Amino acid sequence: MKKISYFIYIFVLIFYAEKSKALIEVDITRGNLNPLPVAVSPLYLEKESKSKFEEKLNLKDLGQEISKVVENNLKQSGLFNPLDKDAFLQKPDIAHVKPRFEDWALIKAQALITGEVKFTDEKLRVEFRLWDILAGKEIMALAFTTVPENWRRVGHIITDKVYERLTGEKGYFDTRIIYVAEEGLKTSRIKKLAIMDQDGFNTKYLTLGNELVLTPRFNPTNQMVTYLSYFKNLPRVYLLDIETGVQEVVGDFPGMTFAPRFSPDGKKIIMSFAKDGNSEIYTMDLESRVVEKITNHPSIDTSPSYSPDGKFICFNSDRSGFQQIYVMRSDGSKVKRISFGNGLYGTPVWSPRGDLIAFTKLHKGKFYIGVMRTDGTGERLLTENYYQEAPSWSPNGRVLIFYRETKSDSAGKGFSAKLWSIDLTGYNERMVDTETDASDPSWSSLLSD
């Protein structure tokens, strides 16, 4: 009798283990204090391709470089712990065909990424596999082809696929950040539009710094940017085509236009128009140029942001006497205040998932980045600092990027402005590297989706 129950116990254990180990899962809804150990094997590169890439891109080992991009992305996400490559026992080419799971389990890897890069027809062809070490099986395999110059994007796309497979949510790695690059004295700051990959690489400057520029934001297809420029000392909302560099003024009203954003379908720009001491929210249809007045109130109405379905707008108003967050229907009707906590609230921005609004809060001399539900309930403050504002959502709605300024003396000593990001969980707060000081970040949507 005893023997039999023992037998059953083992059977159940194996069965249960099979089931639970078959799928590695990463829970991104909670602060992750135990990031998943993952081994990112350098992508295999045969000799001929290696020399071709070296000649074309001036990179010694492209396979190694791409794996570094993936590794860095996974690490920055805070959900994964990429293991030290020195501990890897298997060579990249062999691991990619048939990993020895015992070897990888030995170094405590739970997931393994392998791959191969090839130079074919002047193109970069990459294939990669994701392996579940404990279950001892392949759980994803993908291949794609692109121009060699896109090699960093290859790393981002691999990360997105791995992230999606392991967390169940879309990634945010093949994306860019547009921001304002800052230089010079605090009293006469020089500001330029700049764009970079999400991980801080491939920075390009889109304006020269001859005029003050502020608050750039992408359109849904990431080809256009709307922003505020002081060109000829007339603060107006502009539109910039990133590829062609063509700029045009869209908010040329007799007064100041500012705080622009695109509608979710990209057809309209919503912005503030200030005249005679009163700021109202307007929309402009980019094709017909028809202008519509959305708010009508003698107080300041600014910082509008659409809900992802385009049906609602959240905005900032001081109609109660102080800065608070309001929500209205997109035609301007049914205005409702949603922020009621202590302090001042600004820069509301609707989550791409639709369920939350991120904001900046000023309370007792401190600035907070926080989120609340769209009806104003469930307020959660994620981070507190001397000065920070202007959150922008990652396309999957899991991370916020914002900027932070430090204190300075009267000569401006000690002053800096930097981009920071934090997970919706309130964990994984980190500075985002930029070549210069930076502010007003805006996150693109996924470039390849």
Residue ranges in contact with another protein by CB under 8 A: 185-189, 212, 214-215, 228, 233-235, 255-256, 258-259, 272, 274, 276-279, 298, 300, 302-303, 316, 318, 322-323, 344, 346-347, 360, 362, 365, 386-387, 389-390, 405, 407-412, 415, 440
Instruction: Strands of 203-343 (E only): list them.
Output: 204-205, 213-218, 224-229, 236-241, 247-249, 256-262, 268-275, 278-285, 291-293, 301-306, 312-317, 324-329, 336-337
User: Could you tell me the smallest distance in angstroms from the CB atom of residue 422 to another protein?
Assistant: 18
CA 71, CA 75: separation in Å to the nearest integer?
6
DSSP 165: H
User: Could you tell me the smallest distance in angstroms from the CB atom of residue 400 to another protein?
Assistant: 15
Q: Which is nearer to another protein, 86 or 276 (CB)?
A: 276
User: Could you tell me the smallest distance in angstroms from the CB atom of residue 346 to another protein?
Assistant: 4
CA 65, CA 100: separation in Å to the nearest integer?
24
User: Could you tell me the smallest distance in angstroms from the CB atom of residue 401 to another protein?
Assistant: 15
Q: Which is nearer to another protein, 415 or 427 (CB)?
A: 415
User: Which H helix or E strand runs over 195?
Assistant: strand 190-197
Residue 146 half-sphere exposure toward CB, CA atoms < 13 A: 15
The encoded tokens of residue 306 equal 């659409």
User: Could you tell me the smallest distance in angstroms from the CB atom of residue 144 to another protein?
Assistant: 40
Q: Which is nearer to another protein, 155 or 235 (CB)?
A: 235
Spell out the residues 6+ positions from residue 141 whose beta carbon is closer than 8 angstroms to its own. 127, 128, 129, 130
The residue assigned the tokens 């070897």 is: 103
CA 376, CA 340: separation in Å to the nearest integer?
8
Q: Which is nearer to another protein, 89 or 411 (CB)?
A: 411
**What is the Cα gyration radius of the chain?**
25
User: Could you tell me the smallest distance in angstroms from the CB atom of residue 233 to another protein?
Assistant: 7
Spell out the residues 6+ positions from residue 20 whose beta carbon is closer than 8 angstroms to its own. none
Pairing, β 344-350 against β 213-218 = unpaired
User: Could you tell me the smallest distance in angstroms from the CB atom of residue 437 to another protein?
Assistant: 14
CA 216, CA 206: separation in Å to the nearest integer?
11
Q: Which is nearer to another protein, 132 or 405 (CB)?
A: 405
Q: Which is nearer to another protein, 77 or 295 (CB)?
A: 295
Q: Which is nearer to another protein, 349 or 447 (CB)?
A: 349
Q: Which is nearer to another protein, 207 or 323 (CB)?
A: 323
CA 334, CA 319: separation in Å to the nearest integer?
15
User: Could you tell me the smallest distance in angstroms from the CB atom of residue 52 to another protein?
Assistant: 48
Q: Which is nearer to another protein, 159 or 215 (CB)?
A: 215
User: Could you tell me the smallest distance in angstroms from the CB atom of residue 286 to another protein?
Assistant: 21
User: Could you tell me the smallest distance in angstroms from the CB atom of residue 362 to another protein?
Assistant: 7
Q: Which is nearer to another protein, 97 or 185 (CB)?
A: 185
Q: Nearest Cα to 443, choosing from 264, 267, 218?
A: 218
CA 156, CA 345: separation in Å to the nearest integer?
35
Residue 245: what residue type? G
Give bridge partners of residue 214 from the DSSP assignment. Answer: 228
Q: H-type helices in 22-100, by residue range?
A: 47-57, 62-77, 92-97
User: Could you tell me the smallest distance in angstroms from the CB atom of residue 248 to another protein?
Assistant: 21
Give bridge partners of residue 324 from the DSSP assignment. Answer: 317
Distance from CA of residue 174 to its chain's centroid? 9
Q: Which is nearer to another protein, 107 or 362 (CB)?
A: 362
For the chain, what is the largest distance between any 2 Cα atoms, rounded to a whole number of angstroms?
Answer: 93
The residue assigned the tokens 């293991």 is: 83
- 427 with 31: CB under 8 angstroms? yes
